[in-house]
Amino acid sequence: MSGIFISGTDTGVGKTLICGYLAGYLRQQGVNVITQKWVQTGCKCSSEDLEMHRQIGELEDDPELAPLVNPYCLPLAASPHFAAPQAGVTIEPDVIVGAYRQLSQRFDLVLVEGMGGVLVPLREDLLIADMAARLNLLAVVVVHNRLGCINHTLLTIEALRNRQIPIFGLIFNRMDEGEDERILRDNLQIIPTLSGVCVLGEMPYLSDPLHGAAQFAPIGEAFLRQWRGDG
């Protein structure tokens, strides 16, 4: 199977946590998995998101793989197309392609965490979704389950389909307390009804987001069952 593009309906929807928990669950099930972040912005010398993956998923840190798991690390916390020139860096698609392909040859599965939403520009002539399409990745969309997520999710699905990117499934993530339960439950029903995309599960609200492996397990099981073709 191709790698998995962990995207989201926006920035700050929990992609990093979901990617880390998924990697950790798959590792526990015997899958030789690694995470990758093509461009990390807002960092000095290493990817904070990848460090979070390792912490949550209890993944090994191999310094030799650092240039492959994070080809570009930029100090300015901004869209890659803007952060790169501020650092005197040119994002080269071939560098990303080469890094991904090397990892895909060494691991059973590469989980690629996106940046923001699917139409974030890596540079002025290349969106992140276009790179995912070039690498034939499947997409998992992380949805911040809240009022307004129907529109954001359907637009994300439409953008992916316009680029012929197969959508593996949706993972809903509750990030806030006090939301109207009726609306949240309806989101879980109406979005797959309108889109035809399956829901892998919902992550409940966590008072401590770094300790949710048990809560994520049913989502990981659903992902693995579908990945192996068992359901």
| Residues classed as catalytic | 37
Rounded Cα distance between 39 and 57, Å, is 20
Q: Please name the residue that has the structure tokens 């690498």.
A: 135
Rounded Cα distance between 204 and 87, Å, is 38
- DSSP type of residue 149: H
- Where does residue 142 fall: left (phi above 0), alpha (psi -120 to 50 degrees), or beta otherwise? beta
Burial 178-216 (b: 16+ CB within 10 A, else e): eeeeeebeebbeebeeebebebbbbbeebeebeebbeeb
Closest listed residue to residue 92, CA positions, set 143, 39, 163:
39
